[in-house]
Structure formats: C-alpha cells, structure tokens
Amino acid sequence: MTRSLPWSEVRDADVHRALAEYDRLGPERFFAVHGFAPTTTYELLWAERSYPPKGILGRAYELATGERLASADFEGGKAGAVKVLRSLGFTVEAKRHASGGPDPSTR
C-alpha cells in the first residue's frame, strides 16, 4: 500500500547522488542493496543513460530524509515517481520496447 510522502524534501542533488551510486554499484547490486527492481514502464534519462525512476527516487528519498522506503511504499508510475522526478527537472519517458516504440500501456 502506498502512502503520502513529503517529496518536497528530495532535491535534485539527492537524485544526482542516487544516480552516481547506481553507476558505481551497477544495476544488480543497486537493486540488491536498496530493494527495488528494474523498470518496466518508464525510464529516467540522464547523461545519455537510462535509469529506473522508482529505484532512483527511492534512494534519493533515503539520502534526503534518512528513511528507507520499500517499493510498495510509493507508486512508480506517472502519478508517482515519474511526476516527482519531472517536477525536479529530470526527463522521464515511456520505456522503449523491442519494436522501437513506447510501451502502449503508458499512453
């Protein structure tokens, strides 16, 4: 069950720190350490790379507040992590699939 969280405490610097940690650890270790999973619907685009929006935002929230979140604590879709990250100035787009087009479920 998701809950209301004070996303205003998360700054773009917290997201940048989470992105750097993801790059340093790599996806498998990042997910193992922080309890998130690869993205299925959206991707956060930064420095010509793609990242899992929910995992990055969850880690950024922990960096900002000291509180660790579980994946079930908040939504990852366009009303959740996508919205928060976009409000901080990040680019989050529908994940491209093998056909080369966006995931039809995100329209």
Task: With a cut of 50, say whether residue 105 has pLDDT above it.
Answer: no
> Do 7 and 64 meet the contact criterion of CB atoms below 8 Å apart?
no
At 82, the pLDDT band (50, 70, 90 cuts) reads very high
Average pLDDT, stretch 35-64? Answer: 95
Instruction: Record the pTM.
Output: 0.87
Q: What is the pLDDT of residue 1?
A: 54
Run of H or E residues at 83: helix 81-87
Integer angstrom CA distances of residue 10 from 7, 26, 29, 100: 6, 22, 23, 33
